[in-house]
Amino acid sequence: MRYLLSLYCCFMLSTAFAENYEEITQLDEPLVFGVRAGMPANYFDHQAIERSSLVMLVEEVFKPLGVNIQYEELPRRRLIHSGLRGDISIFTLPVLDNPIVNIQVPEGIILGDQALFSYPLNFYALKRRQISLEKPEDVVEYSLGVIKEAKFIDAAISRVVNRELSLVTFQRPRYILKALLAERVDIIMLAEPIFQYELSKLKTNEEISLAYSIGRSGRHLAFSEASLGKEKALQLKAFTNRRLQDLKDKGVLQKIAQDYLNTYDEPSED
């Protein structure tokens, strides 16, 4: 009897999942995935061929649904607004495991629990300067170099210390490193893999040290209630949570994410 009961429970669970899965596949329109414009070779190549690392990750996640995904490039500031209006179905948001610099998710946007990929986000300084921060808000005592897309750090830290950062923005990470080496800024903020990659491209004997590790930054899927409806958005969140965990366990996500620096590569500059 216990064995039969176990079989019955397994059957009911599998049937419930199958029904839920079938419902998810019945999407009225192709999913419109909003991607952040202006990132160097991060999402699209120069011919706008949608085969970058992020796109490959997204396609792998949604492959079991057999759904058509259309990509739309938007400035970072417009991604959330487009999601709230329902112009796009899905996009990604940065989630940091440090609450001081985390992004606020607005009502009407449902955030997934699993990250597509994540990496350490750090402050770096010249080693001979001996700059070491005890907490992220200590950076207000120094000039900070960031890429334009990371300007959120200004408002986030200013809320904590009630004081504006001395912020210098750059178009590309390589420019940030050059500014640090030239001592035009005291500290820079970069993702660890990008920092290591760009540093390897520069010829310098100057040592750069870790001033503070802010935390791990991950890109999470965000679902638009206005586009999908709340029920469908929650179903897709549940599906992608399970799917991402499965792909992580199999090492698929890590393999695709390794291509990031290859798609990110830029011509060397003098």
**pLDDT per position as a tens digit, 94-127:** 887 776 666 678 899 999 998 888 888 899 999 9
Residue 196, classified by CB atoms within 10 Å of its CB into exposed (0-12), middle (13-18) or buried (19+), is exposed
- Are 123 and 211 contacting, i.e. CB atoms less than 8 angstroms apart? yes
Residue 16 has what pLDDT? 42
Question: Quick one: pLDDT band at residue 201, thresholds 50, 70, 90?
Answer: confident
Query: What is the mean predicted confidence (pLDDT) over 197-217?
Result: 89
Cα(197)–Cα(187) distance, integer angstroms: 18
Q: 53-62 vs 230-249: helix axis angle to the nearest 10?
A: 110
Contact indicator for 103, 91 with CB cutoff of 8 Å: no
- pTM of the predicted protein model: 0.71
Q: Write down the pLDDT at residue 172.
A: 83
Architecture of domain 119-216: 3-Layer(aba) Sandwich (3.40)
Sheet of 187-191: strand order equals 69-74, 31-36, 90-96, 208-224, 109-126, 187-191, 143-147, 166-170
Instruction: Collapse the DSSP code of 18 into the 3-class scheme (helix H, G, I; strand E, B; otherwise coil) and give the result.
Output: helix
Give the mean pLDDT of 81-99.
87
In this predicted model, what pLDDT tens digit does every residue of 25-79 receive, in sequence order? 466 668 899 887 644 334 334 334 345 677 788 889 999 988 888 888 887 778 8
Convert the pLDDT of each residue in 166-186 to its tens digit: 889 888 888 999 999 999 999
* Integer Cα distance of 48 and 58 in angstroms: 16
Q: Where are the domains of the chain?
A: 19-115+218-264, 119-216
Q: Which CATH number fits domain 19-115+218-264: 3.40.50.800, 3.40.190.10, 3.40.50.620, 3.30.70.20?
A: 3.40.190.10
